[in-house]
Structure 1
């Protein structure tokens, strides 16, 4: 079960953090001394250092020993790191920033281990939020509940019947609604399944309360949009959560005009405390508006960029919306759903490429991945733009014969390590023993020379990158399950995992020359943590606590000092 996103992880024995008192926000040329520093160089080799120097603009001047950095900035302010471990700021290559912020205002269902527990949580939230026009929530997972079916509207009606309820599944590719929400959306037994979506129905053909993939839009379109103040609250909450876990840059996988406006406003006023590489959601009206001046490669000192487009090929494995080449092993009546026919998907990709944008397409199933690889094989030669580093987001279940095509076409696999450890409870049931060999296949991709960009897909998963590092190395969830790791032959080394959350995530956004490592000329984005990441046992990686987060030479997060 995925941990709740906004509950702090259990702390190890509290440590005395004199560090928090001696590391003020830098205002001038600054040298951090006596650090236990690790970074990669441009070639991806792990380097050690004890001192980091950056100027008053937040650019790194020198990395090395105290003597080397002092010689470069003789008048700098010196700050003693007291031996704490210092790393480059970590990068999440696939998340959803506003959705992360939205979760705080709804029902948290990640920790609901039974259907009854989820229903009770919804009922309690409804009672304590009587003014909410809609009851919203996120994180349910029928696989954890061992139901063998989806939940129903009737089960929600029993606790909330007077107001609409809309609850997103843990993967974000299905919603569970009550009867009131179905009525408000005009969904009844005569409503056809939309293209690329499915309305779950009972034996009599009546909508049962779960809408999969494109069918979600039937109800989403009647949900009131956030007010400007609500949107700012979402962004504020998300930025605070990201800094707390050491993320100094994220790739926001699908935004609209209103979100772009807010990002630029925050960047203009120095309030964007995590760098954002944004992708325009789809190639419809928002793309037409946002692409008028072409890709925005850098804004406000590399704090913001809008140079990519996010598209969807298929749904998710847990809701059986992922498109497979052969039927699901645990439900032979379906092969999942492609969102668009090949020609329509290729037209969307063509429109984005013609305008000069990097194209990043969500593909979970082997049929979804093949559809997109086939489209790239047609379009990349047409535009001769392999240098745009087009991506497949998730690349989750790929036919073994298709994996080499990523390298041949120059496609970046953008993958999320915790998806494997969260999906282990159902993935092999869905696709069987043979197809699972091409699923979550990080080692296979790395061995052929692909550069994996790692992320979390928050809020589907926790945004904590140390949980991702732990999953990448151990192939285990936070509880250490399964013993020995799930298909451990596909695990990464710690250095490889560190690289995919730093240098290669930056590479996937064309930002490897400004962030991703601690090297002269790059931004001073770094974190201090409570343990030596490269010396602790692997089972401790996910328990790492961030003490401080710095972006562009300014401290944006400091962990509260706790008593011994």
Structure 2
């Protein structure tokens, strides 16, 4: 009887294997991409000519002639010899804010206050008499010092006293408004500064129309709120904009419960083509909700598996927690979230299989964060692992070794580091520079490093950020004469992997993304130039010709280079 049962089991097993093989043989791709130089970025860095796609995943890779002969009924896309790489995974972005800002005035290229005012004036002419006019991206670093002293609501009042005007700076930490908005916030000379924020006053001790850090909430609270449909429309526009830069997945540490709900609805309606790695705040109601329920994978589009806190902030605004005091007041930065907060988040995350991520810019922030995480890990070992330290800038030799020992993933922002090197000697003891921007050291000892653009607050283009990382240079030649980071540059290939292979691993997506291999999502970018075999300078002139998600072309540059037929 037992022998009969075993024979029956073996027959069933062989039948199941036969069915699997038969099903595999019966797969016919919907589309084959041929005649490309396709960098798969697999462990052997294999380069192929063609990729066949079935139901959004890669069915096969190889030579163009072999795949077209094998799958004669498939649609064909001729890449005409162009370079193809995996879709870019941005390690830090804010999709909701980016989508909102697409409807705002773009002030990023303004070089004077007068230019900003003129841009606002032109919009005012076409807006309604009582409309809101918003702008984003004015940059203190690009404005003359004397212009910064001129900032006052009266300059915007000269444009309009009936329209509500608000202008947010490039870092998102200062808002400049006209008197109409000032009055709506109900700020007076007696209004106290909110916690972690400040209200600007002029020499007469009257509000000047500037709101700093948390004080910006006073403006945010009175902004007209868009409908859910308008929010979704903005997000769709934002996603389509991302495709122009080859971005197919983002890691977003600015998730709110309302925003996550909207994203899920868009997934349900098949209107959310990118993948989102949602990094929820490490304290508050949304955190407690997920700590109770655990990680969530939502329909192959949204993965909620990371909790995040910021220990400190930007160095250039003296919000980075440094061991040495700054030269000017405030000389010592108070952490946004202290050791206790980091420990509480880490303990709960470790117990529930969540990855943890902490923003640590300054060396003091890094040391204290490592102490907190190490302390908790001794008591409650992390189930998920892959701890991330975001915005990693200042790293002492001792902490460099601890990062390796604790198997932490370093996450960097090359553009920000290059900017900080320009101002370091003016802000703090020069010797701190030897610990800033140690990209190559971090990569060599950890065999992984991930990059983020931090859009919309910095350059959205991953190719430009790869240039920073692989050259150690800024696009500003004058700045390069003053300082650079060439001693810590990476190869172009590793810079590319920081946006693909390594970022996929850091977001637990290495089984489905990051490389172009069989059974992974067919998320690809077609480029005008071969960036891997070229000098880093080529990155600056390279164009995105196509962005492909799950085998479908979601963006096509109309300039020559690839032909659909």
What TM-score range do you get, normalising by the shorter chain? Answer: 0.7 to 0.9
What is the number of residues matched between the two proteins?
531
Which protein, 1 or 2, shows the higher relative CO under an 8 Å CA cutoff with sep ≥ 6? Answer: 1
- Per the normalisation by structure 2, the TM-score is 0.86
Structure 2: distance between partners of 1:51 and 1:122? 49
Is the counterpart of residue 279 in structure 1 residue 276 in structure 2?
Answer: no
The 3 A distance-change label for structure 1 pair 436 and 185 is farther
2:15 corresponding residue in structure 1? none
Larger mean Cα displacement after TM superposition, 236-245 or 415-424: 415-424
**CA offsets, 1:65-117, max 9 Å, x none?**
33664687576444332211111111111001121111221121101111221
- What is residue 54 of structure 1 aligned with on the other side? 53
Aligned positions of 1:105-254 closer than 5 A: 105-130=103-128, 133-147=131-145, 149=148, 151-202=151-202, 206-254=206-254
CA distance in 2, matches of 1:222, 1:48: 54
**What secondary structure is seen at the aligned counterpart in 2 of 1:371?**
helix
Q: Distance in 2 between matches of 1:177 and 1:306?
A: 36
Q: Determine the C-alpha separation between the residues in 2 that align with 1:400 and 1:183.
A: 51
Equivalence for 1:412: 409
CA gap of 1:288–1:400, structure 2 versus 1, over 3 A, is same
Distance 1:353 1:201 in 2: 45
Post-superposition offset of 1:307: 1.7
Q: Which secondary structure state, in structure 1, belongs to the residue aligned with residue 293 of structure 2?
A: coil
* CA distance 1:443–1:548, change in 2 (3 Å): same
> For residues 233-274 of structure 1, what are the alpha-carbon distances to aligned partners after superposition, in whole Å with 9 as ceiling and x for unaligned?
221111111111111111122111222122222222332222
Q: Deviations over 1:176-235 (max 9, x none)?
A: 334443443343443333333344444565554433333333332333333212211221
Determine the structure 2 residue equivalent to 1:457: 454
Cα distance change on mapping 1:210 and 1:492 into 2, 3 Å: farther
Given that residues 325 and 366 in structure 1 are in contact (C-alpha distance below 8 angstroms), is that contact kept between their aligned partners in structure 2? yes
Q: Matches of 1:473 and 1:132 in 2, distance apart? A: 49
Does the CA-based 8 Å contact 2:90-2:451 persist in structure 1? yes
- Identify the residue that residue 33 of structure 2 maps to in structure 1: 32
| Cα distance, 1:355–1:183 mapped onto 2, change above 3 Å | farther
- The aligned residue for residue 8 of structure 1 is none
Structure 2 counterpart of 1:22: none
CA contact (8 A) 2:282 2:308 kept: yes
Q: Post-superposition shift, 1:408?
A: 2.3
- Give 3-state SS (helix, strand or coil) of 2:40's partner: strand
| Correspondence for 1:392 | 389
Which stretch shows the higher mean deviation, 62-71 or 134-143?
62-71
Counterpart residue number, 1:376: 373
1:539 corresponds in structure 2 to 537
How far apart, in 2, do the equivalents of 1:355 and 1:387 lie? 8
**Residue of structure 1 in register with 2:464 after alignment:** 467
Residue matched to 2:5: none
Max radius of gyration: which structure?
Answer: 2
* Contact persistence 1:213–1:315 (CA under 8 A): no
- Normalising to structure 1: TM-score of the pair? 0.86
**SS of alignment partner, residue 260 of structure 1:** helix
CA apart distance, 1:299: 2.5
User: Deviation of residue 472 (structure 1)?
Assistant: 1.0
Q: 1-side partners of 2:308 and 2:273: how far apart?
A: 23
Q: Secondary structure at the match of 1:510?
A: coil
C-alpha deviation, 1:285, in angstroms:
2.5
Q: Distance in 1 between matches of 2:331 and 2:180?
A: 29
SS for the counterpart of 1:166 is: strand
Tell me how far apart the structure 2 counterparts of residues 513 and 176 of structure 1 sit (CA, whole Å): 46
Q: Which region of structure 1 is more displaced relative to structure 2, 109-118 or 410-419?
A: 410-419
Cα deviation digits, residues 151-189 of structure 1 (max 9, x gap): 344443443444443322212233333444344334344
For residue 248 of structure 1, give the secondary structure of its aligned residue in structure 2: strand
Which ranges in structure 1 are unaligned for 5 or more consecutive residues? 1-26
Higher normalized helix content (fraction of residues): 2
Deviation at 1:350? 4.0
Deviation string 1:466-511 (CA, Å, 9 cap, x unpaired) is 1111111122333445457712112111111011010111111011
Contact 2:34 2:76 in 1 (8 A): yes
| Distance in 2 of aligned mates of 1:127 and 1:80 | 47
- Write the deviation string for residues 358-383 of structure 1: whole angstroms up to 9, x where unpaired: 22222333333333222222223333
Q: Distance in 2 between matches of 1:368 and 1:357?
A: 22
Q: Distance in 2 between matches of 1:191 and 1:46?
A: 61
Q: Report how far residue 126 of structure 1 moved.
A: 3.1
Q: Is the 8 A contact 1:308 1:358 kept in 2?
A: yes
C-alpha distance 168-322 of structure 1, shift in aligned 2 (>3 A): farther
What is the distance in 2 between the residues matched to 1:374 and 1:164? Answer: 47
Q: Which residue of 1 aligns with 2:19?
A: none
TM alignment of 1:311-326, pairs within 5 A: 311-326=309-324
Q: State whether residues 171 and 318 of structure 1, in contact with CA within 8 Å, keep that contact through their aligned partners in structure 2.
A: no
Match of 1:340 in 2: 337
Pair 1:548-2:546 in alignment: yes
Check whether the contact 2:355–2:384 (CA below 8 A) recurs between aligned residues: no
